[in-house]
Amino acid sequence: MFDKKSESGENSKNGENGENGNNNKNGIIQCETIKITKMTPEHIPQIHAIETAVFDDPWSLAALAGELNNPHAMYIVAEKSAEIVGYAGMWHVVNEGQIINIATAPQYRKNGVASLLLEHLIQLATCHEMMGLTLEVRLSNIPAQKLYQKYGFQQEGIRKNYYAATKTTPREDAIIMWKYLI
């Protein structure tokens, strides 16, 4: 099902080394390169800063750092110079990839950062011969749903009241999405 050419999209003109010099939709990243690398301990504080800026129920520093020692976890970061502009992680469980999180720092959104990250997760899953990738996304999170749909993820079910209420968000259902690779 994975048609790399048709799904690579306008935001994903990354070269062989994973760098991207064309993500200049709104000018913020113009003439800069975005490099996708494996998450290391040095990245954790910046990832945590994005996590707390983006989510109402952010992972703690310890929980994020714990993923470095999780044998099932695969985390990647998008770097512009030394700055982390986005990150994504998945767990390789049996023969499937469970996408745990993906986020772009607010000031770098709509520049293809999440697209690059998701493309790399799909490549990783393909390399590891996973049968597919799955995730949960809030019913109200249209930007994320559009991102996943762009890469061929389809709705496969609903988990009722999956997300607990937070200070700013109500209790909410999750959409279960899948992208099958074989």
Ligand X SMILES: CC(C)(COP(=O)(O)OP(=O)(O)OC[C@H]1O[C@@H](n2cnc3c(N)ncnc32)[C@H](O)[C@@H]1OP(=O)(O)O)[C@@H](O)C(=O)NCCC(=O)NCCS
Instruction: Indicate whether 150 belongs to the interface with ligand X (CB under 6 A).
Output: yes
Please state, in angstroms and rounded to a whole number, the distance separating the CA atoms of residues 173 and 140. 9
Output the DSSP codes for 37-95: EE--GGGHHHHHHHHHHH-SSPPPHHHHHHGGG-TTEEEEEEEETTEEEEEEEEEEETT
Instruction: Indicate whether 109 belongs to the interface with ligand X (CB under 6 A).
Output: yes
Residue from 76, 124, 125, 147 touching ligand X (CB under 6 A): that is: 147
Task: Kindly determine how many residues on this chain lie close enough to bind ligand X according to the rule CB under 6 A.
Answer: 23
Q: Is 130 exposed, middle or buried (0-12, 13-18, 19+ CB in 10 A)?
A: buried
Instruction: Indicate whether 144 belongs to the interface with ligand X (CB under 6 A).
Output: yes
| Residues annotated as part of the active site | 136, 148
Instruction: Indicate whether 74 belongs to the interface with ligand X (CB under 6 A).
Output: no
Q: Radius of gyration of the chain from Cα atoms? A: 16
Q: Which stretch binds ligand X (CB under 6 A): 66-74, 97-105, 123-131, 162-170?
A: 97-105
Instruction: Indicate whether 13 belongs to the interface with ligand X (CB under 6 A).
Output: no
In the complex, the residues that contact ligand X under the rule CB under 6 A are: 9-11, 54, 86, 102-104, 109-115, 137, 141-144, 146-147, 150
